[in-house]
């Protein structure tokens, strides 16, 4: 089966900082990766699909990159509303559509 890992598990950053979250797959998933943000008590919010395509209406400070087994989500210029937990999800049909364990982002 496929395993998804994320690092770091928690990060604390200041408004305006550049933040990078890494997601790794235990097997190659090509570019079949999505990213989400979830605020406490809310449903997840879709950010990126196909590893690097920003969904409609998502602020341009978010970007994604990577392929194969290593992927990154970058927030350029962290904003107060960006707090929450970020999840990657692999969507390669050859494997279960597993989520990563999440990265909690706190605003200093």
- Can you give the three-state secondary structure of the chain, one letter per residue? CCCEEEECCEEEECCCCEEEEEEEECCCCCCCEEEEEECCCCCCEEEEECCCEECCCCCCCEEEEEECCEEEEEEECCCHHHCEEEEEEECCCCCCCCECCCEEEEEC
Among 19, 21, 25, 85, binds another protein (CB under 8 A): 85
99 binds another protein (CB under 8 A): yes
Q: Is 17 or 101 the residue whose CB approaches another protein more closely?
A: 101
Residue 89 contacts another protein per CB under 8 A: yes
| Stretch in the footprint of another protein (CB under 8 A) among 16-24, 45-53, 65-73, 74-82 | 45-53
Residue 60 within binding range of another protein, rule CB under 8 A: no
- Could you list the residues that contact another protein (CB under 8 A)? 1, 34-36, 38, 43-44, 46, 48-50, 55, 85, 87, 89, 91, 93, 96-102
């Amino acid at each position: 089966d496929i395993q998804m890992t994320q690092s770091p598990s928690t990060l604390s950053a200041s408004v305006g900082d550049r933040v990078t979250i890494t997601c790794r797959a235990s097997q190659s998933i090509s570019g079949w990766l999505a990213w989400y943000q979830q605020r406490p008590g809310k449903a997840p919010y879709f950010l990126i699909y196909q590893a690097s395509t920003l969904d409609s209406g998502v602020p341009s400070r978010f970007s994604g990159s990577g392929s194969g087994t290593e992927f990154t989500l970058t927030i350029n210029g962290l904003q107060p509303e960006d707090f929450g937990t970020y999840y990657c999800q692999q969507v390669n049909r050859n494997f279960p559509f597993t989520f990563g364990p999440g990265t909690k982002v706190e605003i200093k």
